[in-house]
């Protein structure tokens, strides 16, 4: 069963409601003392010092931009801290993790953040529908601490999303105007240091801001491509009820836009546009985490993209929501596939069952109808639950 919360009022009030409804302080302590966090932090520095330093770094790097450009999200963050009885430095720090993990010089040590997204619009769909699907892949320690949040701001668009307990931002959501926005984390490389900056706004907060203020893909494109304080690189996937669909590949200071071909579009964590092809991490770079030392850094996103695009192409013209469920549950990988087991899930499959990163949730959105389907684990293990905006 997916955890669900409903918050409404002004942004500070919505934050307080979120903080009061969820065991955020307990969750943060569990995550910070988890095996995966202990591996990626400096070995001889105690966790409480890391938490303090993280908060101070975050405050100095993201507070000013959040306050200046998205003050409503700052109010929500303040409310969450108040309701959860945690300090604001920690609240900044929790959001700053998604900026820091984009640092090309250290990210080979950071747990994998994957995600696969797929889109289908006419003429690719069987019934003329518009669909946006996404597997949300992240470190497995976070799986128990995610929820669907329905927000009803006083003077902004109503929206539904899936996110982690302590966050004001979100990874993917849908608003009552029929706009869906989500992100896939991008992998950048030291060759292009301007692709990344420690200063700026965490991407999940930008997704939340778009859901509350943009009514269409065109408005969301205008927002994100002109936004003056993006931090690390991201791939923003968007769809609206008119069938306007795109992926915006962004770096800190540049962008490029992908559109569907013949009604289908897929994206993972690599740059696909010609403009940014050489910004991808090279094939010979390997993870430096102990459980992944022999895995090429870029292999999983490449394999997941190729398989997702292959399946969308195979079913093109006949795609339904059941097709999306099948694709997002797919375990095919050439080295592990046979007709009897249909593939053994691992780090490289769309439905991800990796050593440290897994599919935490799967989401299918139908912007025309306001339907938001979610699983709270890998989609191969459970049925989708339906919510409606």
Delimit the domains of the chain by residue range. Answer: 7-100, 109-388
CA geometry: angle at 154 spanning 153 and 155, to 5°?
95
Q: How far apart are CA 151 and CA 389, in angstroms?
A: 10
Residue 34 in this model has a pLDDT that exceeds 80: no
Parallel, antiparallel, or unpaired: how do β-strands 245-250 and 234-240 relate?
antiparallel
Q: How far apart are CA 159 and CA 154, in angstroms?
A: 12
Residue 317 in this model has a pLDDT that exceeds 70: yes
Span 16-45, mean pLDDT?
82
| pLDDT of the residue at 218 | 98
Q: How many helices (H) and strands (E) does the chain have?
A: 10, 14
Residue 292 in this model has a pLDDT that exceeds 70: no
Pick the closest to residue 117 from 246, 289, 276, 273 (CA basis): 246
Residue 322 in this model has a pLDDT that exceeds 90: yes
Span 111-130, mean pLDDT?
90
| pLDDT of the residue at 201 | 95
Residue 214 in this model has a pLDDT that exceeds 90: yes
pLDDT tens-digit readout, 333-351: 766 555 555 677 888 899 9
**Tokens representing residue 240 in the block:** 């609206």
Confidence of residue 291 (pLDDT cuts 50, 70, 90): low
Span 23-34, mean pLDDT?
85
Pick the closest to residue 172 from 207, 219, 215 (CA basis): 207
What percentage of the chain has pLDDT greater than the value 70?
Answer: 91
pLDDT tens-digit readout, 339-389: 555 677 888 899 999 876 799 999 999 999 999 999 999 999 999 999 999
Q: How far apart are CA 387 and CA 284, in angstroms?
A: 43
Parallel, antiparallel, or unpaired: how do β-strands 255-258 and 245-250 relate?
antiparallel
| CB-CB contact of 253 with 78 (8 Å) | no
Residue 290 in this model has a pLDDT that exceeds 90: no
Span 185-202, mean pLDDT?
88
Span 180-196, mean pLDDT?
89
Exposure of 59 by Cβ count < 10 A (0-12 exposed, 13-18 middle, 19+ buried)? Answer: middle
| CB-CB contact of 227 with 96 (8 Å) | no
Q: Which residue has the higher pLDDT, 114 or 349?
A: 349
- Residues paired with 357 in a beta bridge: 139
What separation in angstroms does the CA of 276 have from each of 229, 232, 373?
20, 15, 32
pLDDT tens-digit readout, 230-278: 998 999 999 999 999 999 999 999 999 999 999 999 999 999 999 999 9
| pLDDT of the residue at 108 | 59
What percentage of the chain has pLDDT greater than the value 90?
Answer: 70
Centroid of chain to Cα 78: 22
Span 176-183, mean pLDDT?
98
Which of 73-87, 175-189, 270-284 is most confident?
A: 73-87
**Which residues touch 53 (CB under 8 Å, ≥6 apart)?**
none
For 140, the 3-state DSSP assignment is: helix
Q: Of 3.40.50.1000, 3.30.360.10, 3.40.50.150, 3.60.60.10, which CATH number belongs to 109-388? A: 3.60.60.10
Residue 122 in this model has a pLDDT that exceeds 60: yes
| pLDDT of the residue at 1 | 83
Confidence of residue 28 (pLDDT cuts 50, 70, 90): confident
**Which residues touch 314 (CB under 8 Å, ≥6 apart)?**
none
Question: What's the mean pLDDT when you consider all of the chain?
Answer: 90
Which of 48-57, 241-250, 327-336 is most confident?
A: 241-250
Span 308-322, mean pLDDT?
97
Q: How far apart are CA 256 and CA 331, in angstroms?
A: 30
The lowest-confidence range among 10-19, 105-114, 342-351 is: 105-114
| pLDDT of the residue at 207 | 98
φ, ψ of residue 161 in degrees (nearest 5)? -150, 170
Element (H, E) at 232: none
φ, ψ of residue 362 in degrees (nearest 5)? -130, 140
Give the torsion sign (CA, 336, 342, 348, 352). negative
Residue 85 in this model has a pLDDT that exceeds 70: yes
Residue written as tokens 């990626």?
40
Residue written as tokens 């801001």?
209
The lowest-confidence range among 62-66, 118-122, 286-290, 374-378 is: 286-290
Span 19-36, mean pLDDT?
86
Confidence of residue 331 (pLDDT cuts 50, 70, 90): very high
Length in residues, the chain = 389
Confidence of residue 107 (pLDDT cuts 50, 70, 90): low
Residue 91 in this model has a pLDDT that exceeds 90: yes
């Amino acid at each position: 069963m997916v955890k669900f919360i409903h918050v409404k009022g002004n942004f500070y009030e919505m934050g307080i409601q979120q903080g009061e409804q969820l065991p955020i302080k307990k969750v943060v302590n569990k995550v910070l003392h988890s095996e995966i966090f202990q591996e990626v932090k400096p070995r001889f520095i105690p966790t409480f010092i890391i938490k303090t330093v993280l908060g101070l770094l975050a405050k100095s790097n993201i507070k000013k931009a959040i306050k200046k450009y998205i003050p409503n999200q700052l109010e929500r963050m303040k409310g969450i801290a108040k309701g959860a009885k945690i300090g604001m430095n920690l609240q900044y720090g929790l959001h700053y993790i998604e900026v820091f993990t984009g640092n090309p010089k250290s990210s080979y040590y950071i747990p994998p953040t994957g995600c696969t997204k797929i889109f289908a619009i006419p003429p690719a769909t069987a019934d003329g529908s518009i669909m946006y699907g996404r597997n949300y892949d992240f470190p497995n320690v976070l799986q128990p601490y995610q929820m669907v949040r329905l927000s009803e701001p006083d003077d902004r668009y109503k929206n539904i999303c899936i996110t982690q307990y302590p966050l004001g931002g979100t990874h993917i959501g849908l608003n009552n105007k029929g706009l869906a926005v989500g992100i896939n984390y991008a992998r950048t490389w030291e060759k292009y240091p301007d692709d990344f900056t420690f200063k700026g706004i965490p991407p999940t907060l930008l997704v939340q801001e778009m859901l509350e203020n943009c009514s269409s893909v065109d408005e969301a494109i205008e927002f994100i491509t002109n936004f003056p304080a993006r931090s690390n690189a991201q791939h923003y996937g968007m769809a609206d009820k008119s069938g306007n669909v795109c992926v915006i590949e962004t770096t800190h200071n540049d962008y490029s836009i992908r559109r569907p071909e013949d009604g289908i579009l897929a994206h993972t964590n690599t740059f696909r546009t010609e403009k940014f092809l050489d910004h991808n991490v090279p094939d010979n770079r390997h993870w430096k985490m102990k459980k992944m030392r022999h895995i090429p850094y870029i292999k999983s996103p490449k394999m997941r993209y190729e398989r997702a695009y292959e399946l969308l192409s195979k079913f093109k013209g006949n795609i339904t929501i059941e097709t999306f469920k099948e694709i997002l549950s797919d375990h095919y990988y050439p080295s592990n596939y046979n007709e009897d087991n249909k593939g053994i899930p691992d780090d490289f499959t769309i439905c991800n069952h990796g050593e440290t990163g897994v599919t935490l949730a799967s989401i299918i959105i139908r912007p025309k109808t306001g339907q938001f389907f979610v699983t709270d684990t890998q989609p191969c293990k459970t049925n989708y639950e339906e919510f409606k905006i």
